[in-house]
Structure 1
Amino acid sequence: HPAWTSAPSIAHRALARLAGARRLDVVLTQNFDGLHEAAGLPDSRVVEMHGTLRTTSCMACGERVRTADVVATLAANPDPTCAACGGILKPDIVYFGEVLPADAINRAVRAAESCDVFVAIGTTLSVYPVASLAGLAVESGADLIIINAEPTDYDRYAREVIREPIDVAVPALVDRYLG
C-alpha cells in the first residue's frame, strides 16, 4: 500500500526546516501517514487530527503497538489480536463517523488561538471541526495564508492566497520566512 512506501515531499521537508529554525510551533494535519515525522518534525510538534497509521491499539485494553509489526504477522495470522488481552486491534486512525481525538482537538484549538500565522496547506477548509481552526486563528489575531489549488470559504479572510502546487509554494514560503 502507498501509505507504507511514501516518502516525505519537498514541502514536508521545508516545514521540518522551518521547525528546526524555531519558526514553526506546530503542524495540524488531517493526514495519518506520518510523513511530517518522517521528514524530521518531532512528534511533539505534530497534531494528527485524524490519528496515525503508524500505531495500532487494542480496543479493549488500549495497548499500543507499531502497525508495521502487526502487518508483518498478517500472512501467518490474518486476524491478529492484542498480545496483552486478546482484544481486537484497530489502527489508530479516525474512521468516517468516529469522533476526533479530544487531545488532538484541544491541542489544535490552543495552537489556533495562540499562533501569529496560520497556514492552511492543501485543504478546501470544508471539513469540520478542523476547518473552523482557520477562522479561530483569524479571530484570535493571526494572519491566514492559504495554499490550495481551489478556492476556499476562508479565502476572503486570508492575508495571502497561493494557487501554486504545494511542492512549489511551501518551500518558497519557508524561504521567505527564513530570509
Structure 2
Amino acid sequence: MDAPTAPQLTAFVGYQQVAQGPRDVVLAELRRRQDNPPAVVFDDLSGDRVELEAGTACGDAPPEPHAGASRHARGVGRPRLGVVAREVTLLPRHWEWLSRQPGGASVALRRLVDDARRVYADRDAVRASRESAYRFMSTVASALPGFEEAARALFAGDPARFAEQIHDWPEDVARYARHLSAGSWAAAPEHTA
C-alpha cells in the first residue's frame, strides 16, 4: 500500500489565486505577502477549506493533542490491522443473515463494503468531484453571475453548460473550478431508461 501523500493546497485572496502546493509552501507564501489580506485555503482533492495556523513556523508539526491525551491509549479492535470498533444498527433479519455467513458478521460486512466500493468506485468519484467543486464555488464564487446555473450544470453532469456559465468568471476562479470538477465529467455514469 502506498504511503499517503501530503495534501496539495490552493490559496485565494478574493478571486485571485495567490499560492499553491504543499502546506508549508502555501503557508510560507501567505506569510511572505506584505499586504496580509485574509486568504481562503482549499484542499485540492476535497475542495474543503483548510485552516492554516499562521503562528507556526513552516515545517512545524501540527500541534499535539491536548496534554491529557495519552499517545499509547488503545481502543477496542485489532490495532495492528487498523480495525476500529463502531456501532452498526441493523434490523433483526440483517443480523440473522450476517450470523450465517462464513467468518461471522464482521468478515461479511467488510466483504460487502469492499464489494460496494469496487462496484460504485466510478460513481463515488464523480460525486466526490462534484461536491469538491461545489464547496469551492459556494465559498468563492457564490456572488458571481451564473453561479446557480453553473451549480445546476455541475450536478446535472452537463460540462458544456458548466463551462458556459463560468466562462466570464475571474480567470483563477474559473480555472480552479474546472480543475476540481474535472472528475465530474471523466467517469460520469450513463443513465439508462
TM-score, length basis structure 2: 0.29
More helix by share: 2
More strand by share: 1
TM-score, length basis structure 1: 0.30
Larger radius of gyration: 2
